[in-house]
Amino acid sequence: MRGLLTLKRRISIFTIQSSCNPQRFYSSHFDLRDVNTVTVALNSAESRRLPILGTQIHGHIIKLGLSNDIYTQNNLVKLYMNCGMFSYARKLFDEMPERNLVSWTLIISGANKISNYEVALQLFINMTRTESFMPNEFALGSIMKAGINTGALEFCLCIHCFSIKIGLEKNNFVGSSILHMYSKYGDIKSAESLFESLNVGSDLACWNAMVGGYAQCGYGFEAKKTVSLMHLKRVVIDELTFIHALNASSITCDMDFGSQIHGQIIRNGFEPMVTLMNSLIDMYFKTGSKDYSWKLFEKMEDKDISTWNTILALSSIQQVVFLFNDLMITGLQPNRITFSILFRMCGDAVEVNLGQQFFCLTFRLGFFPQMSNCLISMFCKCGAKETARSIFDSLTSRNLQNWNEMIHGYNRSCDFEAVKLFVSLWRSDIEPDECTFSCVIESCFKTDSVEIGRQIHGIVIKSGFDSNGHVRSTLVHGYAKSGFVTDSYAFFHEKMDMATWGGLISGLVDQGYTNATIDVLNRLKQHHQNPDKFMFGSVLNACATIASLTLTKSVHGQVLRAGLDTDEYVASALIDAYGKSGDIASATIGFHESTFFADVALFNTMIMVYANHGLVNEAMEVYSKMKLINLKPNQSTFVSLLSACSHVGLVDVGRMLFRSISFDHKMVPSSDNYGCLVDLLSRNGFLKEAKGVIESMPYPSWPGVWRSFVNGCRIHGEKELGKMGAKKLMELFPDKNAEGYVLLSKIYCEEGNWEYGWKVRKEMSDKAISKDAGSSWVSV
């Protein structure tokens, strides 16, 4: 007992002295001849993150001849790893004369910690093959993480089988790792089966893995159900559970559930956690409660850069400038994620001047090389291809992503430079990937360079990418879109996968080859492959385009046989096809059979069907049902409703609906919403109000909005306003749009001024502006 008290006294002295001054390690009051005392010393140095002290202890261990003690060596490996010195840990591990299972598990875990997953995989293989150790649950959990992060799906499946073979598949630590693996790769059914077989009880890791898996795969309802089940079973919930639950609320746009989670966060004392507050801000914003997001953001005292990044990503481009200024005042430095968000927003909003200012700051803060891809993308979206190219040319060393972004930027604007840049890449030492080939092939067909596309097709075959589904589907889509349907099928009929079939169908639909599309669908069935929901959706869109009720019914029968009538995407396409084919009864039946989805796109489609046929009351009933089930409408919903009001002249109802976008639903009206309002007012004679809307809307005007205005002027005899609108249309789009000339000519002719009408037509002819010939047809 006296010896134990002496040892405790020495440890206590060591702990106090080492925390104050690591050099006092060799105090005369402390003797490290005992292995247990050495272990306590190592653990103390590790907990205080004192690597220098750890190396001193290591040196003393060597002097004392304890280098052959596995227990001591394992503690040294653990110390080096937790102090961020993996290279020291690996060197010590390699020099160990004898290793046990703990040694291998520690070094594999250490490789995982520094994200060196390839090394972790190799170490695991060496442990099982060379040393013939049987891994424990910790080794299996660590190696599963390495396999997931390297994308080694087959390896992960082998680990699952191996865990079953050695009887560890029911271990909750291993089980949670396998659950995460299946969720990561979207196999939620396998994850559910495994979860049900595990005796999870109150094991939080497994519950979190299942909830997180549902949320990651987009199964928001199932994630919420699992969180509720955790609450019923009194499983102690942690920060990660709350984050997954809030993500599920965002997926399902369920603010009520998110608010309940918010209450649980406060009740459990998690409110000071910054990560949870960030998730709450994101959830409220995505469920349409922007005011709550801003209140939370303003209420937070401890904001980190992730908080600012979250609010920046959820803000409008107009708010970003003020927010970023506030961020800089706080003293926090923006990181790469911040600038990625800013450049994406500038690109989407085509704010090139603001983007250039952020570009200068990026350069000043030393982020330029890392942000080159975002910069190239932003400038290309803004139409500043020369600036993007100068950034690309200024890079001293270019990686494949740089090349892909620049090629994609040229491809976006249908520029042949994309092909030229690909030729330069092909001559360099960098090998293109499937993204490069897909992009340059698409560029060839966009610029009508079919022959060059065929040559690149040859390069694809030589490079071995002809077996890549994404590349094949791009080639098939390109050939079909260029009218080479026979070539498209001839090249790939022997190795058509679902992506390739989908590309062929999409290309045919784009070109309006409806009959050929149906033929391809039948060929697909002859190859004993079942069309997926996207293929049926494309075919039904083609049926809707030509308003063919016979074809719609035929495809509907195939949908029923394939069991896809319960899919919301297909159901929406069916409703649209029936509606445009004039069969309102079938569209209504399809809608009522699908309302359990509570999908906003489905409701929008039904509202538009009623709107196109002037059935305003029915459209408003569908809108009322949306509100009844707490389904948040979007801008497309109001486009449909305003169109319905426009067709039957319900101006007051239309005004009320337009105001409700901002006041009731806290959304910014889209350009399409403004266009519908202008059309509503113009059709019904409120021309001065329509003109005021055009001049005050926060978007640049476009041909359609002025066309609606001029047509309204013609209908209601407002010749002077009509002339002004037509001239405005011609000024804004002088060389591209025939509508302004045609409408102005009609106005002059209708008032009897044939001479001026003829002059407008002559000016149109002199500028070689042609009008598409009108046509009509009847299906018998």
* pLDDT per residue as tens digits for the range 214-245: 888 888 888 899 988 888 888 888 888 999 99
Q: Say yes or no to pLDDT of 574 above 70.
A: yes
Residue 512 resides in a domain: yes
Q: Are residues 328 and 376 in the same domain?
A: yes
Cβ atoms of 681 and 690 within 8 Å: the answer is: yes
Q: What is the mean pLDDT of the chain?
A: 80
The whole-angstrom separation of Cα 728 and Cα 708 is: 13
Q: Are residues 382 and 414 in the same domain?
A: no
Among candidates 31, 26, 300, 1, which has minimal Cα distance to 11?
31
DSSP state of 551: H
Cβ atoms of 749 and 765 within 8 Å: the answer is: no
83, 107, 125: which is the final residue of a domain? 83
Residue 540 resides in a domain: no
DSSP state of 156: H
pTM equals 0.60
Q: Say yes or no to pLDDT of 535 above 70.
A: yes
Q: Are residues 116 and 175 in the same domain?
A: yes
Residue 639 resides in a domain: no
Q: Are residues 761 and 708 in the same domain?
A: yes
- Residue 744: give the domain boundaries: 670-771
Q: Are residues 192 and 105 in the same domain?
A: yes
* pLDDT per residue as tens digits for the range 314-360: 888 888 888 998 898 888 889 899 999 999 999 988 888 999 999 99
Q: Are residues 224 and 291 in the same domain?
A: yes
> What is the pLDDT averaged over residues 519-541?
78
Residue 336 resides in a domain: yes
pLDDT at position 573 = 87
Q: Name the more confident of 462 and 46.
A: 462
* pLDDT per residue as tens digits for the range 642-687: 888 887 888 888 899 889 888 887 788 888 888 889 888 888 888 8
User: Tokens 């950034």 appear where?
Assistant: 391
Rounded (to 5) percent helix, strand, coil in the chain: 75, 0, 25
Q: Are residues 682 and 760 in the same domain?
A: yes
372, 395, 418: which is the final residue of a domain? 395
pLDDT at position 379 = 92
Q: What CA dihedral angle connects 327, 332, 338 and 342, to 10 degrees?
A: 30
* pLDDT per residue as tens digits for the range 76-107: 888 878 787 888 888 888 888 888 888 888 88
Supply the angle between the helices 172-184 and 204-216 in degrees, to the nearest 10.
0
Six-digit token string for 394: 């200024």
* pLDDT per residue as tens digits for the range 458-470: 888 888 887 777 7
Q: Is 675 exposed, middle or buried (0-12, 13-18, 19+ CB in 10 A)?
A: buried
482, 506, 527: which is the final residue of a domain? 527
For residue 212, count other CB atoms closer than 10 A to its CB. 24
Q: Is 705 exposed, middle or buried (0-12, 13-18, 19+ CB in 10 A)?
A: buried
User: What CA–CA distances, in Å, run from 615 to 100, 607, 650, 680, 712?
Assistant: 77, 9, 12, 16, 22
Residue 369 resides in a domain: yes
Cβ atoms of 530 and 562 within 8 Å: the answer is: yes
pLDDT at position 488 = 61
User: What CA–CA distances, in Å, run from 775 to 690, 772, 778?
Assistant: 30, 9, 11
* pLDDT per residue as tens digits for the range 712-730: 877 777 767 766 776 676 6
The CATH number of residue 129's host domain is 1.25.40
Residue 592 resides in a domain: no
> What is the pLDDT averaged over residues 283-287?
85
The domain total for the chain is 7
Mind giving me the DSSP string for 662-729? HHTT--PPPHHHHHHHHHHHHHTT-HHHHHHHHHHSSS---HHHHHHHHHHHHHTT-HHHHHHHHHHH
Residue 413 resides in a domain: yes
Q: Are residues 327 and 377 in the same domain?
A: yes
Q: Are residues 388 and 415 in the same domain?
A: no
Cβ atoms of 687 and 678 within 8 Å: the answer is: no
Query: Long-range contacts of range 706-710, CB-CB < 8 Å, 24 or more positions apart?
Result: 706/732, 706/740, 707/739, 707/743, 708/675, 708/678, 708/679, 708/682, 708/683, 709/678, 709/682, 710/740, 710/743, 710/747
Residue 607 resides in a domain: no
The CATH number of residue 720's host domain is 1.25.40.10
Q: Say yes or no to pLDDT of 381 above 80.
A: yes
What is the distance in angstroms between the CA of the first residue and the CA of the last residue of the chain?
105
For residue 505, count other CB atoms closer than 10 A to its CB. 29
Helices (H), 395-532: 400-412, 417-427, 434-446, 450-463, 469-481, 485-492, 498-510, 514-526
Q: Are residues 410 and 433 in the same domain?
A: yes
> What is the pLDDT averaged over residues 371-398?
89
Q: Are residues 767 and 743 in the same domain?
A: yes
Q: Are residues 191 and 207 in the same domain?
A: no
